[in-house]
Chain A
Amino acid sequence: MGLVKAVRIDSSGERPVQPSEPLDLSMRLAALDSPDAAERRRAVRDLAAEPDAVPALCARLIEERNLSVRTALFTTLIRLRSPAVVAGLLPLLRLDDANLRNEAIDALQDMPEEVGPFVETLLGDHDSDVRILAIQLLSTLAHPDAPRWLVGVVDTDSHVNVCAAATDCLAEVGGPEAIGPLRRLARRFAEERFVAFAVDMAIRRIEGR
């Protein structure tokens, strides 16, 4: 024994193992419910060019407990990036599962153009936790309007924690145009000492001090 000549793997013609043969969409969607995780993972990856599968893939995310299948679901949805994908991922921000929320944010950050039209609605959500997650999303979203949206938050949002999150974020991505709104924010929440501290720090960072 020791080193033995490996048996040639034929990846070009007839093969013993292949991904699923082309099936119609309904059959591939049915495979998402297979009891076998490897089968579900394969089904998810087979749907990476099927925009019509987006609602089913998003629905599956909420039920899926296997990490590798869940990872494949997010990867496929990033590949399919579209307004429908964003619309399907945003409800995940309301779930209790912190991992799922964070994975949804990571995926949304990979589709800035598609996320853009949803941002103002998200920042106007009645739930302050959702607004804070929206700010987390904006912190690394490669979208030219991100600083403007954050300035809008510090100028208008009524919740101090939401404004503090936006302030921290502006320290990273804000420009001089954020300084006036940040000073107004400090006055608006004058009784909250941590806001004054965060604003001061953000302005220092923006001014490069």
Chain B
Amino acid sequence: MTSASARSPEEIDSISPEEFAKLCEFFYRRTGIVFSEKKRYFVVRRVQERIATTRSSSFRDYFGLLRFQASGEEFQQLVNLLTVNETYFFREDYQFEALTRGMLPELASARKPGDRLKIWSLPCSTGEEPYSIAMQVLENWPQCDQYEIQIFASDIDSRVLGDAVRGVYGERSLQRVGPALRAKYFEKIKADEYRLRDEIRESVDFSTVNVIDRVQMAAFRGFDVIFCRNLLIYFDDLGRRETVETLFECLAPGGFICLGHSENMSRMSSLFRPRKFADTIVHQKPTDAE
């Protein structure tokens, strides 16, 4: 049941501890993301917003919509509100250095000119990471023109993917992009707005993906490099373990995975070999792995 009258989030009844626990369990089962008690205010506030927007009469009513709506549209709306998308160009750029100075040269040494190399940015948020990868490859890997390089980018949040495809960014996102790269790859359209040039924008393929959905993930195979940074920190131990095993399946033998600086592969899995390139450690699927 939904009520006809619109209410503001402040007018929505607070959510009980049992309801909060029920919602968290449901969200965890569907996304792998864990919300601790510390995040309670953040979660409750956004759920109240959605209860108001959908004109649901109560939490119970809204929860029914979340669980049983055939299109899954409301679930996606809530995912979009509850995921964090803070990022900027060339964030943790030492890994991009490792990509062009270590990983790509090594992968290319086992390929023929003209062969394909597949890179995946997951989660890609509003696109800064995959576009940074594209610029890094063009600017810093001299062999780039000898290979067919495909960059894929995915996120669970469909709203940020829209922004990523649009490719318009503010000064905050570009804080680490120097004048030369700005001039080459961006067009200033307003005082604090830059549009990425089509050459880069069109080189990345964006898609919506939920990493714990094995059916969706089964379509993503044969990647040479996966950037999966600052995603696993939102999962519990078992969720991390399962996700790492899923990413293992997505990599080609000898492929690499790059995690965020606070994510420690050795605590999650022993499936990968640690490799040091430039100033960072990345993780390689053994070349003889099936």
- Does the CB pair A15–B219 fall under 8 Å? yes
- Does the CB pair B150–A2 fall under 8 Å? no
- Does the CB pair A3–B151 fall under 8 Å? yes
- Does the CB pair A79–B209 fall under 8 Å? no
Residues in A whose Cβ lies below 8 Å from that of B205: 5-9
Known interface pairs A1-B148, A16-B219; 15 further A-B residue pairs with C-beta atoms within 8 A, sorted by A's residue number: A1-B145, A2-B138, A3-B134, A3-B144, A4-B150, A8-B205, A8-B207, A9-B152, A11-B215, A19-B214, A41-B249, A68-B271, A71-B271, A75-B238, A110-B238
Residues of B in contact with A (beta carbons under 8 Å apart): 114, 118, 134, 137-138, 144-152, 200, 202-205, 207-209, 214-221, 237-238, 241-242, 245, 248-249, 269-271, 289-290
Distance of A193 Cα from B248 Cα, bound (Å)? 49
User: What are 7 A-B pairs at a CB distance below 8 A?
Assistant: A1-B144, A2-B144, A3-B151, A3-B200, A8-B207, A12-B216, A16-B219
> Which residues of chain A in 38-89 are interfacial with respect to chain B, using CB atoms and an 8 Å cutoff?
38, 41, 45, 66-68, 71-72, 75, 78-79
The residue from B144, B151, B204, B218 contacting A18, defined by CB atoms under 8 A apart: B218
Report if A36 contacts B (CB, 8 A): yes
Instruction: Tell me what chain B mostly uses at the interface: helix, strand, loop, or mixed.
Output: mixed
Residues in B whose Cβ lies below 8 Å from that of A18: 215, 218
Nearest chain-A residue to B210 (Cβ)? A11
Distance of A72 Cα from B249 Cα, bound (Å)? 11
Instruction: Tell me what chain A mostly uses at the interface: helix, strand, loop, or mixed.
Output: loop
Nearest chain-B residue to A36 (Cβ)? B290
Min Cβ gap A97→B in Å is 14
Min Cβ gap A139→B in Å is 17
Report if A10 contacts B (CB, 8 A): yes
Report if A27 contacts B (CB, 8 A): no
- Does the CB pair A6–B242 fall under 8 Å? no
The residue from A7, A11, A17, A71 contacting B245, defined by CB atoms under 8 A apart: A71
